[in-house]
Amino acid sequence: MALRAGRWAGVIVGLAAGGILAVWLIAAGPSPDRNADAGPPPALSVIEVQPVDFRAVARGHGTVRAAQTWRATASVAGRIVERHPELASGNILPAGTRLLAQDPTRYRLAIQEAEAELASIRAEERQLERETESLRKQLAMERERLALTERELERIREAADAGNIARSEQDRQLGTTVARRQAVAQLENELALLPGRRQGLQARRDQAQARLERAREDLADTRFEAPFDLRISEVAVERHDHATPGQLIFRADSIENAEVEAHLPLARLRPLAARILDSGGGALDLRQLRERTPLEALDARIALAGDNAVHWKGRVTRVASGLDPATRTVRVVITVDEPYANARPPDRPALQPGTYVRVRLGTPGAEPRLVVPATAVHDGAVYLADGDDRLRRRPVTVAFEQDDLAVITDGLAAGDRVIVDDPVPAVDGMAIAPQRDEGLEAEIRRRAGGTEG
């Protein structure tokens, strides 16, 4: 037991001596702060920050669709009697071309029937006008006769009262007067019935006119003419087929315009919207938002997803309602005029529906900004090389990032040298050997301008 205790005592004494020696060596050693320059300083790449022409851009992808699609369906029943020889999928046909026609026979007969009925009604109306004029003349004459008989009755009544003539003569004159009164009343009744007959004829004429217009529309619906320059995408009938109302005949897309519904991240669109939005210094309601957001001012560029050299110029026409439910991106609709112009397949294909494309939106002009590589920002700060070639840490405010560039709004000034490497360790005040990277500065200027790589 005494031997074991001695061994433990020796171990404890040795550890204590080692600890004391370590403390003495650390205390006697050189201070890191006083000897930070010991050895060669690390070579670090730096850029000199200067305002560059910065253009806010947003990039996304989308699929091309036709701005107008004609889904030609049959409005009337009938057999297909005419079909254009070029009515086939993929063919391009100009506006005004008759593409297809149904049998018009029954609708031409309906037109003839309605026109004949209208002619008959017009003849009845003319006859009614003649009857009206004749009855008015007869009524005028009967009223004159009645007036004469009334005066004669009054004269005979006075003579009978005086005893100059017999009462029988008065009775005969009274009978004649009553007959005249009945004739006038009958003519007045006949004239009173004429407006009803006229209204009946007017109703019949309106019905016949409606049948005529409907028959003419049906006849026009038997013909299918291209309303615009188009490309056939689908044909569902053949000649001699019988088409029924509502049946699809063919489908065609306009080649005058194409649309792309581009999906862009909301964060990328904010700098663009802030640049073009005219808020007038206050909040906007939905009615003012469209008026003060000139979407057409944005520069839109569309390129093939696999070949950036093939591109088209577009214009932003609207922003679709709501975010995409799957990607939570904004759906911006860009219109391209004449998507088939200057097509030279296979080097430059036409911008056809279904094509997957890249979309770039940019502000109308550039503005001076201070930008650094996004990798140069470390937890809200950048490393600088001061005038004595020593590393300094400085907090900065990043407005947003674009194309791996950070736009700085506070914390940097023109002429500052920003370290773009990632020094490990990064000790504030340590000596460094800054190496200016002019190639990176040129690349930053290029990317800041929104130029495609």
pLDDT at 35: 44
Tell me the pLDDT band of 108, cut-offs 50, 70 and 90.
very high
* Model confidence at 333: pLDDT above 80: yes
On the question of pLDDT at 264 being above 70, the answer is yes
Mean pLDDT of 313-342: 87
Per-residue confidence band for 56, with pLDDT thresholds at 50, 70 and 90 = confident
Range with lowest mean pLDDT among 11-15, 37-41, 167-171, 265-269: 11-15
Calpha distance 353→19 (Å, rounded): 79
**HEC secondary structure over the chain:** CHHHHHHHHHHHHHHHHHHHHHHHHHHHCCCCCCCCCCCCCCEEEEEECCCEEECCEEEEEEEEEECCEEEEECCCCEEEEEECCCCCCCCEECCCCEEEEECCHHHHHHHHHHHHHHHHHHHHHHHHHHHHHHHHHHHHHHHHHHHHHHHHHHHHHHHHHHCCCCHHHHHHHHHHHHHHHHHHHHHHHHHHHHHHHHHHHHHHHHHHHHHHHHHHHHHHHCEEECCCCEEEEEECCCCCCEECCCCEEEEEEECCEEEEEEEECHHHHHHHHHHHCCCCCCCCCHHHHHHCCCHHHCEEEEEECCEEEEEEEEEEEEEEEEECCCCCCEEEEEEEECCCCCCECCCECCCCCCCEEEEEEECCCCEEEEEEEHHHCECCEEEEECCCCEEEEEECEEEEEECCEEEEEECCCCCCEEECCCCCCCCCCCECEEEECHHHHHHHHHHHCCCCC
Tokens of residue 409, six digits: 């709004």
pLDDT in tens, 343-373: 888 888 999 999 999 999 888 777 899 999 9
Cα 399 from chain centroid (whole Å): 31
In degrees rounded to 5, what are phi and psi of residue 93? -130, 140
Residue 272: closest CA among 282, 262, 260: 262
Average pLDDT of span 156-176: 83
- pLDDT at position 283 is 46
Burial class (CB in 10 A: 0-12, 13-18, 19+), 58: buried
Tokens of residue 164, six digits: 């100059």
Looking up tokens 């009967």 gives 142
Residue 106: pLDDT band (50, 70, 90) is very high
Mean pLDDT (the chain, rounded): 85
What's the pLDDT score for residue 55? 87
Helix axis angle, 167-221 relative to 105-162, nearest 10°? 170
pLDDT at 36 > cutoff 80: no
Burial of 351 (0-12, 13-18, 19+ CB in 10 A): buried
**Does the pLDDT value for residue 452 go beyond 80?**
no
What is the percentage of the chain residues whose pLDDT exceeds 90? 56
- Per-residue model confidence as pLDDT tens digits over 387-445: 999 999 999 999 888 888 999 999 999 999 999 998 888 899 999 999 999 999 999 99
- Does the pLDDT value for residue 66 go beyond 90? yes
Q: Is the pLDDT of residue 2 over 90?
A: no
Whether residue 121 contacts residue 204, with contact meaning beta carbons closer than 8 Å, is answered with: yes
CA–CA distance, 172 with 157 (Å, rounded to integer): 11
Show the tokens assigned to 45.
């790449």
Place of tokens 């070639």: 389
The yes-or-no verdict on residue 95 having pLDDT over 60 is yes
Q: Roughly how many angstroms between the first and final C-alpha of the chain, as a whole number?
A: 82
What distance in Å separates the CA atoms of residue 239 and residue 321, rounded to the nearest whole number?
Answer: 43
> So what's the pLDDT on residue 279?
43
Tell whether the model's pLDDT for residue 199 goes beyond 70: yes
- Exposed/middle/buried for 199, CB within 10 Å: 0-12, 13-18, 19+? exposed
Q: What pLDDT was estimated at residue 18?
A: 58
pLDDT for 265-320, tens place per residue?
A: 888 878 877 776 654 444 444 444 455 566 777 888 999 988 888 999 999 888 88
Asked if residues 340 and 350 have their Cβ atoms less than 8 Å apart, the reply is yes
Q: Are 259 and 64 in contact (CB under 8 A)?
A: yes
CB 222 within 8 Å of CB 78: yes
Q: Residues 74, 245: contact at Cβ < 8 Å?
A: yes
Structure tokens at 400: 């947003």
**Which segment of 186-190, 243-247, 392-396 scores lowest on mean pLDDT?**
186-190
Distance CA 410, CA 403 (A): 20
